[in-house]
Amino acid sequence: MKINLNHIKKVYFIGIGGIGMSALAFHFLKMNKQVFGFDKTPNAMSEQLEKKGAKIEYDENLNIAKKTRKNNTLVIYTPAIKENHPIYKYFKSNRYSIFKRAQILGQLSKDKTCIAVAGTHGKTTITSMLSYILKDNNLPVTGFLGGIAENYNSNYIHNGDDIFVIEADEFDRSFLNLQPDYALISNIDADHLDIYNTKEELEQCFHKFVEQLKDKTQLYHQDKLNFGGKTIGINNSADFHPENINLKDGTYYFDWVGPDQKIKNISLTMPGYHNLFNAISALCLAIAYKPEMGERFAQSLTNFKGVKRRFNYIVKRADLNIIDDYAHHPSEINAVYEAAKQMHPEQKVMGIFQPHLFSRTRDFADNFARQLSRFDEVKLLDIYPAREDPIEGINAKFLLEKVNVSHKQLIQKTDILHTVRTSSCKVIVLMGAGDIGVEAQHIKNYYKDEK
């Protein structure tokens, strides 16, 4: 695939408000292209894009779409858009140039130094950390993030175009469009079984991703994986690992150790061993790119504020701590619980979980139940369907029946604030990849106004 972007004046995004699509839209605005798009409803991303000049329609009347011309317009769509969507059908029938977001990212990054971060969990945090520490040291980086970096309140980081840091998503095999110079695989868990029938098939796709790497010596991965690259882990047996770990007042202090370098007294204000792993990984990639700047990269990490909905304290006070997290897979729920108990070892913890996708709930029901059963109390919301149609017999009640906790209950989104206000638990964790984050914001505003 080759697109001459010099001939392109307009770019139309079908699904422009999505976290990945909006980052790419910001980039085309930075390239001085006219940006247009469609989404079902306005959100924070689409509103930011409109403020920067994008024209967005929120119905399917094609009012904006019909004002474009196929000879100078590029159309980009997300895999969530089906081919029978009216706007997609309009562009297809009129023979516009139509590509998936991942294809365009592959094209844009082809002639750059591309650093790709892949893996079932941790991609967004590692990509955000890496983009932040490169920009903080004034390196010419563009970061396409799958979340909102707190330091910039954005999913798009730009300080130049020489280095592209990309969250390499395995969904829809998107990451196979990349040909990275450096690649990291944080972990592999069975997921997206609506795309991959088995974990083995998913692993095979990661092997294909590794084959895309330009230089196989620049492959880095979790020490539990077998890809023949340099290994990263919490244990000393990994090529890159932390030493002298100390957690004090919610901050990790540690040394970063690699085969040829050791950096002492690094601090990280993000709890959980999973975030310690993420930090080791981000430093690993940054130092692989510029070894002589290792100490400066480590200093920058100290000021990284995290990613929205990744173990964010929305309320933090002596009598109550409320944490918001994107966790939507059993392994992620486990990591969040471990971090909460690490921070609050003496307190009871309530988990409020919104399952994401009927197929994921069905495929991992027993494991979801096992991890949720670690909490002292569990509240479940209805399953967030996203792109899926319902599956008979798969609902929140089906999952709740498997959870082995005395205090468990089905609730509605409108019940969350009341549940939080009346709970005896001092630590409450909201989890899910659907719209539970909106309710988290309402809770944050409530307690802010309460002051």
Domain range annotation of the chain: 5-101, 110-301, 312-450
Tell me the pLDDT band of 411, cut-offs 50, 70 and 90. Answer: very high
Tell me the pLDDT band of 451, cut-offs 50, 70 and 90. Answer: low
136, 300 in Cβ contact below 8 A?
A: yes
Q: Give the CA distances from residue 70 to residues 111, 193, 286, in Å, rounded to whole numbers and listed in that order.
A: 26, 36, 41
What own/partner pairs with CB < 8 Å and gap ≥ 24 does 309-312 have? Answer: 309/147, 309/148, 309/437, 309/440, 310/124, 310/125, 310/147, 311/270, 311/271, 311/272, 311/275, 311/336, 311/339, 312/440
Select the more confidently predicted residue: 2 or 264.
264
Q: Mind listing the pLDDT tens digit for each residue in 40-88?
A: 999 999 999 999 999 999 999 999 999 999 999 999 999 888 889 999 9
End-to-end CA distance of the chain: 56
Task: Name which of 156-170, 180-194, 256-270 the model is least confident about.
Answer: 180-194
User: How high does pLDDT run on average in the chain?
Assistant: 94
- 415 sits in which H/E element: none
pLDDT of residue 250: 83
Q: Give the CA distances from residue 403 to residues 38, 379, 406, in Å, rounded to whole numbers and listed in that order.
A: 40, 10, 9
pLDDT-above-70 percentage for the chain: 97
- 195 sits in which H/E element: none
Task: Name which of 137-141, 187-191, 392-396, 414-418 the model is least confident about.
Answer: 187-191
Q: CATH says 312-450 is which class?
A: alpha beta
Instruction: Tell me the H-state helices in 175-329.
Output: 199-211, 273-289, 294-301
For the annotated binding site, the residues are 119-125
Residue 1 has pLDDT above 70, yes or no: no
pLDDT of residue 395: 97
Q: Which two tokens stand for residue 174?
A: 């998107």
What is the C-alpha to C-alpha distance for residues 385 and 392, in angstroms, rounded to an integer? 13
Q: Mind listing the pLDDT tens digit for each residue in 318-350?
A: 899 999 999 999 999 999 999 999 999 999 999
What is the C-alpha to C-alpha distance for residues 420 and 437, in angstroms, rounded to an integer? 15
Tell me the pLDDT band of 200, cut-offs 50, 70 and 90. Answer: confident
pLDDT of residue 192: 60
Q: Name the region of 62 (left: φ>0; alpha: ψ -120 to 50; beta: rest).
A: left
pLDDT of residue 72: 94
Residue 152 has pLDDT above 60, yes or no: yes
Judge if pTM exceeds 0.85: yes
For the annotated binding site for ATP, the residues are 119-125
What is the C-alpha to C-alpha distance for residues 180 and 240, in angstroms, rounded to an integer? 21
The alpha carbon of residue 14 and the mean position of all alpha carbons in its chain are separated, in whole angstroms, by: 20
Q: Residues near 120 by Cβ (< 8 Å), separated by ≥ 6?
A: 170, 186, 187, 188, 189, 191, 329, 331
pLDDT of residue 45: 94
Of 3.30.750.24, 3.40.50.2000, 3.40.50.410, 3.40.50.720, which CATH number belongs to 5-101?
3.40.50.720
- Across residues 100-124, what is the average pLDDT? 94
Tell me the pLDDT band of 448, cut-offs 50, 70 and 90. Answer: confident
Q: Read off the amino acid at residue 297.
A: F
Residue 413 has pLDDT above 70, yes or no: yes
pLDDT of residue 82: 87
What CATH fold (topology level) applies to the domain 110-301?
UDP-N-acetylmuramoyl-L-alanine:D-glutamate ligase (3.40.1190)
Tally of helices (H runs) and strands (E runs) in the chain: 14, 21
What is the C-alpha to C-alpha distance for residues 57 and 64, in angstroms, rounded to an integer? 7
In DSSP terms, 100 is beta-bridged to: 77
49, 106 in Cβ contact below 8 A?
A: no
pLDDT of residue 202: 86
pLDDT of residue 196: 64
328, 360 in Cβ contact below 8 A?
A: yes
